[in-house]
Amino acid sequence: MTLLDAHWQGRICSGGWVPGSGGTYDAVEPATGATLAQVGEATPADVAKAAAMARDAQREWAAQPYDQRARVLRRAARLFEDHGDEIDEWLVRESGATRAFARFQTRAVGAEECHEAAALAAHPYGELLRSGQPRLSMARRVPAGVVGVISPFNAPIILSIRAIAPALALGNAVLAKPDPRTAVCGGVLLARIFEEAGLPEGLFHVLPGGADVGAALVEDPLVRVIAFTGSTAAGRRIAAAAGERLKRVHLELGGNSALIVLADADVEKAVSVGAFGSFNHSGQICMATGRHLVAAEIADDYAAALAEHAAGLTVGDPARDDVALGPLIDAGQRDKVHALVTGSAEAGAKIAAGGTYADLFYRPTVLTSVPLTAPAYAQEVFGPVAPVVPFSTVDEAVRLAGGTEYGLSLGILTRDVARGLAVADRIPSGLVHVNDQTVNDEALAPFGGVGASGTGSRHGGAQANLEAFTETQWVTVRGDLPQYPF
């Protein structure tokens, strides 16, 4: 059995596979420009219908015993594993991921998120409270209801399933709006997995579409929680719209994460770590290493070695096993990356490697002599670009690392782990990795940023997911009716 036979093409998942009100559009392979499939396109009218259907289905789902919900999530995890090669192929072709990154999304995250969600269904969901009255007093977690999940193109399995799986496990219904450029990987595949896993119809809807569909999700009164992953600019707009409607929103936004390389680090090993942090998936990762802050004593050696690593990396069609970097997602993203690189060169930065492209394939790029005002240093690039900036003291490294509105991930490379932790204590960041680069993710670990990177850890781990996708309800029980002076 294959997950993706022909019956889903040109349709959306909303109470079965039905035509979308927006018609259809082509799913395109960025590496070749080939058309992969026809995708059904939703409109705001489809969102309203889906929300009403989801609300009705959610009530029955929430009333099911926890083990029945857990069973569906366990079956979903097995389907990720059993159909891993098929899912990987779609990730490679539709999102431009290398096979290694595709396998990570499918096995290490997709399947594990479902396993963790299955366990979450059995997690304690409340606590007993003390009371001054003769009664039993407790706080319990109840499903939020209908959850909207808006996910981006760059890691479509990871950035969708990490919200969808726990929300379903905790008794919610889900409306998912994947990025239209990766609607198959980030939506259709997940709908088919849960369909085969036995999830009751009407609980999970996949609504590919543009910004108007995302806005309709945020505005619909039946959707009580929004989990959004994307740009900071879009996150601010979503937060404002949700705030007007007193709606909870969980935001995982952009970053410009720093890798601090202290003078005692092994330069060659540090360069390998830093290269992966900046160039993995062509830098199209929110927590990519956007700034290499290197102790002045080793900065020249580090930059030279990093440029050598960059020059040796193979860029091309990720369907080939020898390719390290695939394409950027589209021409708009490529042009944005190139404008940041050329703008930095005009500001005084030197291009030590890369800075060129062919079609959507951008060469891994190393910048040296980078002014702090250079666009590729000061802004999130979302491309394979590594600015290297030296520092003279740890205090200066702390100031540079913290000198941004973002606060997503931080890496510190040093032989002195205690010193690394002490440096991390001084820099606001949602994630900290001592002796590793900034790109890390595990299904059971809390994930989220601070500042312009988001609203904190709302994904990963039982506590974060309970807070994200349930409401707290106070309940008291008395044996007899009380006497009141009325």
How many other C-beta atoms can be found within 10 angstroms of the C-beta atom of residue 45?
13
d(CA 179, CA 150): 8
Cα dist. 73→161, 263, 278 in Å?
Answer: 11, 47, 34
In angstroms, the CA 390 to CA 372 distance is 11
Contact of 276 with 384, CB cutoff 8 Å:
no
State the Cα angle at 403 between 402 and 404, rounded to 5°. 95
Question: How many degrees, rounded to 5, is the angle at CA 341 between CA 337 and CA 344?
Answer: 140
The tokens describing 458, both together, are 């709302």
With beta carbons less than 8 A apart as the criterion, state whether 151 and 100 touch: no
Please check whether residue 96 is in contact with residue 318, taking contact to mean a CB–CB distance below 8 angstroms: yes
What tokens were used for 290? 């956007």
Report the DSSP pairing between strands 136-143 and 126-129: antiparallel
CA neighbor of 389 nearest in space, from 368, 364, 407, 406: 368
Query: How far is residue 462's CA from residue 117's CA, in Å, rounded to a whole number?
Result: 8
One-character DSSP codes across 414-450: -S-HHHHHHHHTTS--SEEEETS-S----TTS-B--E
CB 27 within 8 A of CB 39: yes
Whether the CB-CB separation of 238 and 214 falls below 8 Å is answered with yes
Which residues form the catalytic set? 252, 286
Q: Record the tokens describing residue 101, joined without a space.
A: 């990154």
Nearest to 289 by CA among 148, 406, 385, 179: 385
Between CA 135 and CA 247 the distance in angstroms is 32
CA dist 332 and 300 (Å) reads 33
Whole-angstrom distance, CA of residue 290 vs CA of residue 428? 16
First to last CA, the chain: 69
Coil, helix or strand at residue 213: helix
